[in-house]
Amino acid sequence: MDKFFEIIFTTDFAFSIFRVTTPILFAALGALISNRAGIVNIGLEGIMLTSALTGVLISAYTGSALAGLLGAMLGGMLISAILALFTLELKTDIILGGIAINAFASGGTVFLLYVLTGEKGTSSTLASKMLPDLHIPLIERVPYLGPIVSGQHVLTYLSILAALGVYFLLNRTPLGLRIRAVGENPKAAQSVGIRVKQIQYIALVLSGLFASLGGAFMSMGYLSLFTRDMTAGRGWIALAAESMGRGTAVGTTLTSFLFGFAQALANALQLLKIPSELISTVPYITTVLGLVIYSYRQARKLRKGR
């Protein structure tokens, strides 16, 4: 037990929470935007995975990490635009469309990797680039705070900014107001001249953009290469985070950090002599527990309301 606390109460552990939360937070923000427009984007997982590979490939072939990042972002937006086309225009069920995207991404990334490199597991033969870590002057030297807050990956900082940005977008801008109106009462939105479908397109593409940043972080920050199915359910955890966060930017961000904490804990506990299979269930058990507590409180509130 002592050892456990030794691991938890370190700046390294706190540092790792931010790092591990990054992809979850990005994807959860993506889930948030599309959910508020009334569309559950089940395809987040697939979008992340596709972007992770796109980033690696483009950075390897151009030799530029930035080009890789931009490629990943474009790829993510493109996939969600396709999903939007299928669901909004051709009236596919969004759940089926999302599942198709996920299945396609899982197999398609491996296939593409194999065609280009002859490998089926990882992109280790490619000389792909990583996005840098940032060291913040002055703060870097503050004891305790410095080692946690400084030296994080550039996309980790961006994820925090993105959370603030999404908060601003949803609550302060005309687009955000319209997204929320479309999600809550599309008929009302339509009756005042808002083009519902157009708003949903925008929301889905933005959702894809955020998920793609999470994917890019996975292969160009968290790791320095692409491995098959490397997102490992983060897209799904993001959906849980959004729902537990009650569809608000603040709630979603906080819940993402809770899940990030669980993931970081699982990573840290691997230093102890606990079976790794057991440890790797921690984030998922946290998800289940979180949802149970959330729905219990909701039910109690409903009972009180009567």
Q: Which residues contact another protein (rule: CB under 8 A)?
A: 168, 172-174, 177-178, 180-181, 184-185, 187-194
CB 178 → another protein: shortest distance, Å?
7
Instruction: Indicate the residue among 194 and 266 with the shorter CB distance to another protein.
Output: 194
Instruction: Indicate the residue among 180 and 234 with the shorter CB distance to another protein.
Output: 180
CB 303 → another protein: shortest distance, Å?
17
Instruction: Indicate the residue among 221 and 245 with the shorter CB distance to another protein.
Output: 245
Instruction: Indicate the residue among 176 and 260 with the shorter CB distance to another protein.
Output: 176
Per residue, the 3-state secondary structure of the chain, as one string, reads CHHHHHHHCCHHHHHHHHHHHHHHHHHHHHHHHHHHCCCCCCCHHHHHHHHHHHHHHHHHHHCCHHHHHHHHHHHHHHHHHHHHHHHHHCCCCHHHHHHHHHHHHHHHHHHHHHHHHCCCCECCCCCCCCCCECCCCCHHHCCCHHHHHCCCEHHHHHHHHHHHHHHHHHHHCHHHHHHHHHHHCHHHHHHCCCCHHHHHHHHHHHHHHHHHHHHHHHHHHHCCCCECCCCCCHHHHHHHHHHHCCCCHHHHHHHHHHHHHHHHHHHHHCCCCCCHHHHCCHHHHHHHHHHHHHHHHHHHHHHHHC
CB 27 → another protein: shortest distance, Å?
25
Instruction: Indicate the residue among 172 and 297 with the shorter CB distance to another protein.
Output: 172
Instruction: Indicate the residue among 137 and 193 with the shorter CB distance to another protein.
Output: 193
CB 188 → another protein: shortest distance, Å?
4
CB 268 → another protein: shortest distance, Å?
40
CB 81 → another protein: shortest distance, Å?
23
